[in-house]
Amino acid sequence: MATRSAVRQLKFWGWGYEDQQPPQNEVQATAAAARAHLGFEPAEVEQPARLGDIDLPAPRLEPPASLAAICSSDPYERVTHAYGKAYRDIVRAFRGRIDNPPDVVARPRDEADVERLLDWCASAGAAAIPFGGGTSVVGGVEPRGLDASVSIDMRALDRLLEVDSVSRAALIQAGATGPQLEEQLHEHGLTLRHFPQSFEYSTLGGWIATRAGGHFATLMTHIDDLVESVRAVTPSGAWESRRLPGSGAGPSPDRVLLGSEGTLGVVTQAWMRVQERPRLRAGASVHFHGFEAGAEAVRELAQSGLWPSNCRLLDPGEAELMAGAPSGRALLVLGFESAHHPVDASLELALECCTDHGGEVQDSKESGGGAGAWRNAFIQAPYLRDTLIAGGVLSDTFETAITWERLPSFVARVREEAERAVAEECGAGRVTCRLTHAYPDGAAPYFTVLAPARRGSELEQWDAVKAAASEAVAAAGGTITHHHAVGRDHRPWYDRQRPDAFALGLRGMKRALDPAGIMNPGVLIDP
Ligand SMILES: Cc1cc2nc3c(=O)[nH]c(=O)nc-3n(C[C@H](O)[C@H](O)[C@H](O)COP(=O)(O)OP(=O)(O)OC[C@H]3O[C@@H](n4cnc5c(N)ncnc54)[C@H](O)[C@@H]3O)c2cc1C
């Protein structure tokens, strides 16, 4: 067996593999350049803690002999399963502060292992926390405040099991990451075409459990739209829905598991609607005089039936910062793609709509090269976040959705509240906004906060900004999350957002499926 040091390891504190971490002199140069670009004073660039320096409490659980082969209490395993990848997670792990390590990390090899693990957790009174890629940004995998816990890492179940090329669907195990499942589908000329920014490390099971949103702006925005049927193991037995293209038979069993965030059971596999790989692309970028003019164009596009695959509107602050747009100009990144028909005519109509709203077309690429470059930059961004954190830049995002008639006042109000909190907590900083997804009846505003961090107080700074922003979102009628999920961090606002009678029903379902209350306690709902 290979020793751990010979195996490529994920960083225990940040994004990607240890061998992807740039050398410290490069981190220093990039962090200094980023601070200067953001207009922040220079600051010392820190180094991450070393794993060997982290003291963990002794594990409070010992697996039975029958499960010993798939369980570990190795420090690297416990540390890498203690947090997700929110700003507050990375800051803590970077400093070697591991507040709530799981006692045991289990890596089931099949469904029978999952069943035996849940039985053991119920009898031992331990929490069972399903773990996909650990990219949660809402405290979804952190065993916060729990007595004893087992992190159930699903990544050994990473196979494409079956392809139905007639119905164009594929049965995929829940632990497959984005690249793993795309690579296996590629052999069949197919794609799931679901690209969240965390694509490289997040898993199908995690996407289903959190109702993840991909980077396509219209039509099939969420993983929900791609799920044909789901299979999960709950403490009360297996849950598998029929494969159907649609069904009116009562509330949908799939919709109940979608967004269940590990509180009802462990998703083990799903039949997913797959597609032919797109070959035909066209894209362009367009400048607008201000965010509101751009948003009006996006509304018309979303209501036009043209269904652009990419339709991201960056406000002037973000357009200037990320794409060097001239001051005061919002930037719309527009793209179309298809496996079947040329999309240039669609792009042309979309650009006409943009110019009707005062848009100035910057570049138009028939190959859609612009959209591909956008996607690559999008997937690379989280690596840069690690460098920003080392350089003392507070860097996080929050996202929501709202109907069109309220969008302008909503964005203004949330931005104002977030800016006020950033100024109070950090003394300086920026809040920018982009529209990531566009629907006929509304859009999903996505806010980015970049501010100088006060070393040692980053969590308090971010928590205050996040709370102010969340209060503003809730008060103005938005959702506390469009695709990042609820987890532990969004609970106060989610509890207020969901109807009381729905909470009663959900609680009843939780009690029936998870009578011992072991499944990811603290997330979504209390039994
Ligand atoms: C840099 C970055 C970019 C991101 N971009 C996006 C984005 O574009 N779109 C988006 O939607 N999200 C995004 N996220 C958030 C995150 O990637 C998603 O929530 C993702 O779906 C989580 O998948 P995961 O496999 O990492 O799950 P984890 O983080 O491991 O788990 C998330 C939740 O799902 C549960 N869970 C995981 N696997 C299972 C399973 N098999 N059965 C039952 N429950 C399970 C966990 O218990 C937990 O509650 C981003 C996060 C980061 C850090």
| 195-243: pLDDT as tens digits | 999 999 999 999 999 999 999 999 999 999 999 999 999 999 999 999 9
Nearest alpha-carbon partner for 110 in 154, 163, 162: 154
- Regarding the beta carbon of 491 and ligand 1, being less than 6 Å apart is answered no
Inform me whether the pLDDT recorded for 263 exceeds 70. Answer: yes
- Regarding the beta carbon of 131 and ligand 1, being less than 6 Å apart is answered yes
Distance 202 CA to ligand 1 centre (A): 6
CA dihedral 115, 71, 77, 180 (to 10 degrees): -50
Inter-CA distances, 114 with 110, 128, 481, 509, Å: 7, 10, 29, 20
Q: Residue 502 contacts by C-beta under 8 Å, 6 or more apart in sequence?
A: none
Which H or E element spans position 289?
A: strand 280-289
215 CA closest ligand 1 atom index? 8
Calculate the average pLDDT of the chain: 95
- Whole-model pTM: value is 0.97
Distance 201 CA to ligand 1 centre (A): 9
Q: Residue 7 carries which side chain, given as an amino acid letter?
A: V
Inform me whether the pLDDT recorded for 365 exceeds 80. Answer: no
Written as six digits, the tokens of 188 are 């069949």
Inform me whether the pLDDT recorded for 315 exceeds 80. Answer: yes
Ligand 1 mutation pick, 89, 110, 135, max ligand atoms within 8 A of CB: 135
Residue 363: per-residue pLDDT: 78
- Regarding the beta carbon of 150 and ligand 1, being less than 6 Å apart is answered no
**Nearest protein Cα to ligand 1, atom 7:** 196
Inform me whether the pLDDT recorded for 371 exceeds 70. Answer: no
DSSP state of 226: G
Inform me whether the pLDDT recorded for 153 exceeds 50. Answer: yes
Inform me whether the pLDDT recorded for 368 exceeds 80. Answer: no
Residue 322: per-residue pLDDT: 86
**DSSP string across 94-158:** HTT--SS--SEEE--SSHHHHHHHHHHHHHHT-EEEEESSS--SSSSS--TT-SSEEEEE-TT--
Inter-CA distances, 26 with 19, 21, 199, 515, Å: 14, 10, 25, 52
Residue 1: per-residue pLDDT: 39
Measured N-to-C along each axis, helices 24-38 and 369-390 cross at an angle, to the nearest 10 degrees, of 100
